[in-house]
Each structure stands twice: as C-alpha cells, then as structure tokens.
C-alpha cells in the first residue's frame, strides 16, 4: 500500500505538465496606478494582483475592478466612399426622384388651394366712403321734431313716415332729441327712450327710408354730471386771465363767452348759452367718452349716420383771448372729428359704417369742403345767392370738382327760409337745379309747402322752427313739385361721384342747362321768353327725342320743333332725352 502511494506520487511528480508562458501585454493599456487594463473591454477592466504567501504577487487570487464610466464611441456617420456606394444605386436614385416630385406636387397643390380659398371666400368689404353714403342715402329731409311731429314727441313720427317717403327722399334727419345732460338718453320733452327711437328707425327702414341723428358734440348742458365730476372735460381758465377776453357768445353777441365757476378762481367757456359749457377736446378722456356716446346711438338704435352740428367751434386758441376768430374753424377740428367717428371698436359689422354730415359756420362752400371733407364726413354747403340771382350766379353754386359729391341745402333752423328770400319763381328754379345737379339736397321741413317764418324769432339760433302744416292751407302745387323732383332724383338718375356734369351758361343769354345721364334741366333766369334748341345748346350728338317730364309750377312750355322749346321768363323744365331706337322712359 505504501509502495503504491509512493508510486502514485512519483508518477504525479514526473508527469509532463505545460509550462505557463508569459502573457503578451504589449497591447494592454495601463491604468492610473500602472496596472494593466483589458484592451478588449471598453469598460476598462483592471486586473489587480493579490498578495500570496510571502507577499509573492505572482501566485494567488486576482481581483478584477471594472471602471465606473462606460466609454461610448460616437457615431460619425458614413464616410464619403460608403456614401458613394449608395449614390448611384438604382433603388436610392428612384427614391430620391419620387420624394423630389412628391414635394413639388404637394407645394403646387397647397398654392392652388390657397388661390381657390382667396377667390371663393367672402371678401371683407372696405368701409364705405362718405361719398358712397351720400349717393346711397340722398336726398335727405331734415325735421325739427318739436315743430314737425303732430304731438311733439318722437313716437308721433310713425304717423308721418308715408308723407316723408312720398317726397322721394331716401333719408330723414331727426334733429335736437338727445338729452344734453345725459348723452345716452333722449330729451325727456320728446317722450320715450332709446327703444322708442329704435322702433321709429325700424318703421322708417321698412319703408326704405334711412335715419340720420343730429348730435351736437361742442358742448353739454351745465347739469350734465361731467361738469362737476370731470371738470377737465371742459374749457376753463383763470377768471383773472379771461377778464380781458373779447370772446362773445354766439347766442347773445353782447355777452361774454366766459362765466365764473362758483367758489373757484376759474371761469368756463360757453360759446352758446351760459348753461352750455364748451368741451375741452385737448383732453383724450373726453374724446374717448364722446366716441363711446356716438357708438351707443349707432349700435343701439340702428341709425345710419349723424348730423354733427356746431363743429366749427370744437377747438379754440386760449393764447389769443383778444382774437374773436380764435374760437372758430381751428385747424385741428378735422382731426377731432376723425377720432369721434373712429369705429374700430364699435363692432358694427362689415355692412355698416358710420358717416356724418357736418354743420359748419363762417365758411364759403369751397372753404368748407377744403377744411372739413374727410373719409367719413362732409360738410353741408348752404346755397347763398343774392335775391335776384342770374344764370351765372346759379352756376357758380353748383360747379363741382372731379370726384366731389357736394351736399347742399337751401334752408336750416338758423337761417331765413329760402322761400322768403327769393321770389316764388326763382325759388322753384333753385329747387329744381338743387335736386338734379350733381350732389344731393338736404330739404328742410316745410320748404316743400312754402312754410314761412312766423314772426320774429325768440332764439337767434332757432330762426326757422315754425310748426309744420299738413292741412289744405299749404301750397299743393309746390308740394307735388317736390314729390316729382324726388321721384326723378331717386329713380331716373344713375348717380356717381366721378360722373361728368357740365353746367352750361351762354354769355349772351340768361339760360342755364345741364345734362345728367338721360335727364336734362333747362332754366330761363331772364324776365323775357326765350327759345332754346336743347341739342345745340348742350352740344348733344346723335339723333334722339326730347320729352317734357316736369315744368316749374304754374308754367307752360311749347315745343316749337323737335328739341327746341319756348321757355317763359323765370321758368324751368326737366326733359328726358330718349336716344334713337331706345325705349321711352317714364316717371
């Protein structure tokens, strides 16, 4: 047994065993302490020899430490040579072409879609210019409510809708109904409230008549809360400074336009009554507040526009207290009006755009148009002639510039009625020309029946506010004359701001004539009978016939030969020119 053990031990000892070869570590990196790292392990595997018996590091266990940070080799993409392998590959060539073509097809499709949307989508309408508004809404008829309405209140207007419509006018101007002590209410003297006015507007609209509301932006009533709560809204100045002022009240030219404010050292300006303090339009808060007032009436009642009165007095020059002209027609008035009618926040809709007719003072018609004509407003020009005006005088009042559509009137609350100023014959001729010349006429209530001033006016600002007459005492021939002129203006004229209307007056005669579309107006301003060849007088080319439509009241006309008429002195006639082979037009 022992022998066998020795033999086994001898055999084990003598057996041939492979010798360990030194490891090739030429490609192994070293760690920070000099120990090798496994080159094949990106995690940084580190072999750390453990001390064996006697401290021999060559034998014993090995400790392996893996680094915390894992190094990631960044992807740098394909090289040029690799890319070129795919550049000419048929598959990738086809794919590139397909994507290229698809891109442009989609781009063209989107462009075509955008064009279709632009063409088919409802267009936003540009705000109507004041000229468009006048053309569409004229002629106009202005009423002074307390004198026109049968019972003196607003609701009574409903009974007169048909009367106004029969005059051939397209719009009615309702004057002097807003409460000066509360601008968003109606004057209590006329009864009703905002809803009452809305109902009246709706009644007129049903009969194809628009409604224009008069408003005075220059001043308020002294009892308006603004006067005590927002004193900065009003024109005030030191009482000591205004003592030398020469500014006078328009209502009473013998009185100062300044009144002291009790318990203060200030005075307030009132260019009209002492109970009507003037606004300070250099205050932005006031401008905004007044814009809101106009917005209120426009949106809540359905009116189409405004007649803004006394706008010549909006601004004043407080540095010229001794200059009486420093309170009227100042340069900034037009800019103030533009701000008052700024409707960007009114939310009125695309179909409705506010416009305003303006009452101006102290300017000729030409000056008024130069100073106050704007995109949303235009002045009303008062026709002023000497009592015995001739054809040349009349022509001067109705000549207009290209693209200018003038709004005119013959009478107003503050002027003498024109029926009293001129003879009956001249007044009729003036009415005919005013209705049918280029532009529009504002008819003042009562002019159509020959209403005259009843005695001396108690208020210099209310010269012609006589009670309206609807009975048999009125001049029926004059009333019918107005109705026929309104019908011709409304139905026979194709109105346009850029139309060319040439008023002709010959030097050797007192004849005036003009042609507007197919309508011809001829007037004899002389006292003697005259024979007029219309075709020759107006240089009308081509053959045609001339049909008499309407003469001035009480006048007869004889057609001497085709197109040649004999006109009595101080008379006029409206003709229809029917071109050859054209169907006749009737009114």
As a whole number of angstroms, the distance between CA 296 and CA 290 comes to 10
The DSSP code for 53 is G
Mean of all residue pLDDT scores within the chain: 84
The reply to whether 407 and 428 lie within a common domain is yes
Find which of 201-205, 360-364, 406-410, 468-472 is predicted with most confidence, using mean pLDDT: 201-205
Residues 415 and 296 in one domain: yes
DSSP state of 362: S
* Contacts of residue 55, Cβ cutoff 8 Å, sequence gap at least 6: none
- Regarding whether 155 and 67 lie in a shared domain, the answer is no
Q: Is pLDDT larger for residue 5 or for residue 281?
A: 281
- pLDDT computed for residue 63 by the predictor: 56
Residues 395 and 518 reside in one and the same domain: no
Q: Give the residue-averaged pLDDT of 210-232.
A: 96
**Is residue 1 situated within a structural domain?**
no
> Domain holding 134: CATH number?
3.20.20.80
**Same-domain status, 464 and 353:** yes
* Same-domain status, 427 and 355: yes
CA distance 139 to 29: 105
Give the neighbor-by-neighbor strand order of the sheet with 530-533: 530-533, 564-567, 558-561
State how far the alpha carbon of 108 is from the alpha carbons of 94, 119, 121, in Å. 21, 17, 20
Query: 473-493: buried (b, 16+ CB within 10 Å) or exposed (e) per residue?
Result: ebbeebbebbebbbbbbbebb
* Residues 88 and 50 both lie in one domain: no
Residue 530 belongs to some domain of the structure: yes
Band of pLDDT at residue 272, cut at 50, 70 and 90: very high
User: What mean pLDDT do residues 384-392 have?
Assistant: 94
How much of the chain, in percent, has pLDDT values that exceed 90?
56
Least confident of 41-50, 68-77, 489-498: 41-50
Indicate whether 237 belongs to any domain.
Answer: no
Instruction: Determine the Cα–Cα distance for residues 524 and 512; give it in Å rounded to an integer.
Output: 7
In a domain? residue 250: no
pLDDT value for 12: 41
| pLDDT band (50, 70, 90) for residue 506 | confident
**Contact 231/264 with Cβ under 8 angstroms?**
no
Taking the CB of residue 404, how many other CB atoms lie within 10 A of it? 15
pLDDT band of residue 53 (cuts 50, 70, 90) is very low
Boundary residue ending a domain (461, 491, 521): 491
420 and 353, same structural domain?
Answer: yes
Q: What is the CATH number of the domain that holds 532?
A: 2.60.40.1180
The angle subtended at Cα 501 by Cα 498 and Cα 506, nearest 5°, is: 155
- Per the structure block, which two tokens stand in for 392? 């040349």
Q: Is residue 107 part of a domain?
A: yes
Helical H segments across 389-547, by residue range:
391-398, 418-421, 424-436, 476-491, 534-538
Which has the minimum average pLDDT: 251-255, 256-260, 356-360, 518-522?
251-255
Torsion region of 28: left, alpha or beta (phi above 0 gives left; psi -120 to 50 gives alpha)? beta
Q: DSSP string covering 418-454, please?
A: HHHHS-HHHHHHHHHHHHHSSSEEEEETTGGGT----
CA pair distance 180, 193, nearest whole angstrom:
14
Between 102-106, 126-130, 136-140, 304-308, the lowest mean confidence (pLDDT) is in 126-130
Quote the CA–CA distance of 587 and 576 in Å, as a whole number: 10
Domain count, the chain: 4
Residue 272 covered by a domain: no
Q: Which domain holds residue 55?
A: 35-73
My answer on whether 477 and 509 are in the same domain is no
Q: Name the helix (H) or strand (E) containing 94.
A: helix 90-120
Task: Give CA–CA dist 302/212, Å, rounded.
Answer: 10
- Report yes or no on 233 lying in a domain: no
Clarify whether residues 209 and 352 are in a common domain.
yes
- Coil, strand or helix at 210: strand
When pLDDT is averaged across residues 360-382 and rounded to a whole number, the result is 90
Check residue 455 and give its pLDDT. 59
pLDDT exceeds cutoff 80 at 242: yes
Query: Is 306 inside a domain boundary?
Result: yes
Of 322 and 93, the structure prediction assigns the larger pLDDT to 322
pTM of the complete model: 0.77
Tens digits of residue pLDDT in 2-37: 445 444 444 444 444 445 455 555 555 555 555 555
The residue ranking higher by pLDDT, 401 or 395, is: 395
Predicted pLDDT at 10? 44
- Whether 150 and 90 map to the same domain: the answer is no
Contact 482, 448 (CB under 8 A): yes
Q: Say whether 250 sits in a helix, a strand or coil.
A: coil
* Residues 305 and 205 occupy one common structural domain: yes
């Amino acid at each position: 047994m022992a022998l066998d053990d020795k033999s086994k031990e001898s055999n084990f000892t003598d057996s041939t065993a492979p010798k360990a070869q030194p490891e090739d570590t030429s490609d192994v990196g070293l760690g920070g302490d000099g120990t090798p790292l496994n080159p094949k392990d990106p995690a940084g595997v580190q072999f750390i020899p453990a001390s064996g018996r006697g401290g021999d590091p060559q034998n014993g266990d090995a400790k392996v430490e893996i680094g915390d940070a894992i190094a990631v080799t960044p992807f740098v993409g394909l090289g040029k040579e690799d890319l070129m392998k795919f550049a000419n590959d048929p598959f990738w060539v086809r794919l590139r072409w397909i994507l290229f073509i698809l891109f442009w097809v989609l781009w063209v499709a989107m462009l075509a879609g955008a064009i279709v949307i632009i063409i088919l989508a409802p267009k936003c309408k540009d705000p109507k210019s004041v000229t468009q508004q006048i053309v569409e809404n004229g002629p106009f008829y202005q009423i002074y409510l307390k004198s026109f309405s049968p019972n003196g209140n607003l609701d009574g207007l409903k009974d007169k809708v048909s009367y106004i419509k029969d005059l051939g006018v397209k719009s009615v101007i309702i004057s002097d109904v807003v409460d000066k002590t509360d601008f968003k209410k109606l004057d209590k003297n006329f009864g009703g409230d905002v809803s009452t006015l809305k109902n009246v507007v709706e009644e007129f609209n049903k009969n194809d008549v628009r409604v224009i509301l008069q408003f005075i932006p220059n001043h308020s009533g002294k009892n308006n809360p603004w006067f005590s709560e927002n004193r900065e809204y009003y024109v005030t100045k030191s009482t000591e400074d205004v003592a030398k002022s020469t500014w006078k009240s328009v209502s009473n030219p013998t009185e100062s336009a300044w009144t002291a404010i009790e318990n203060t050292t200030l005075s307030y300006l009132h260019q009209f009554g002492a109970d009507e303090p003037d606004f300070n339009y250099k205050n932005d808060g006031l401008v905004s507040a007044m814009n809101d007032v106009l917005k209120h009436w426009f949106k809540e009642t359905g009116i189409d526009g405004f007649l803004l009165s006394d706008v010549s007095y909006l601004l004043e020059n407080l540095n010229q207290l001794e200059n009486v002209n420093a309170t009227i027609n100042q340069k900034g008035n037009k800019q103030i009006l533009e701000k008052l009618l700024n409707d960007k926040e009114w939310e009125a809709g695309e179909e409705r755009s506010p416009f305003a007719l303006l009452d101006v003072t102290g300017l000729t018609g030409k000056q008024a148009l130069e100073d106050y004509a704007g995109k949303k407003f235009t002045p009303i020009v008062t026709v002023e002639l000497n009592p015995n005006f001739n054809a040349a005088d009349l022509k001067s009042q109705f000549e207009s510039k290209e693209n200018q559509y003038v709004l005119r009137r013959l009478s107003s609350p503050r002027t003498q009625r024109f029926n009293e100023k001129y003879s009956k014959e001249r007044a009729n001729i003036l009415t005919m020309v005013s209705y049918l010349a280029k532009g529009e006429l504002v008819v003042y209530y009562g002019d159509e029946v020959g209403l005259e001033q009843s005695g001396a006016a108690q208020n210099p600002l209310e010269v012609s506010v006589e009670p309206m007459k609807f009975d048999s005492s009125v001049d029926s021939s004059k009333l019918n004359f107005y109705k026929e002129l309104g019908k011709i203006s409304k139905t026979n004229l194709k109105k346009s701001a850029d139309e060319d209307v040439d008023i002709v007056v010959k030097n050797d005669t007192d004849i005036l004539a003009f042609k507007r579309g197919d309508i011809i107006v001829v007037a004899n301003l002389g006292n003697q009978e005259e024979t007029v060849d219309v075709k020759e007088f107006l240089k009308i080319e081509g053959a045609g016939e001339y049909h008499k439509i309407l003469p001035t009241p009480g006048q007869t006309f004889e057609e001497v030969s085709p197109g040649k008429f004999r006109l009595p002195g101080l008379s006029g006639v409206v003709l229809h020119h029917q071109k050859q082979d054209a169907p006749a037009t009737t009114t």
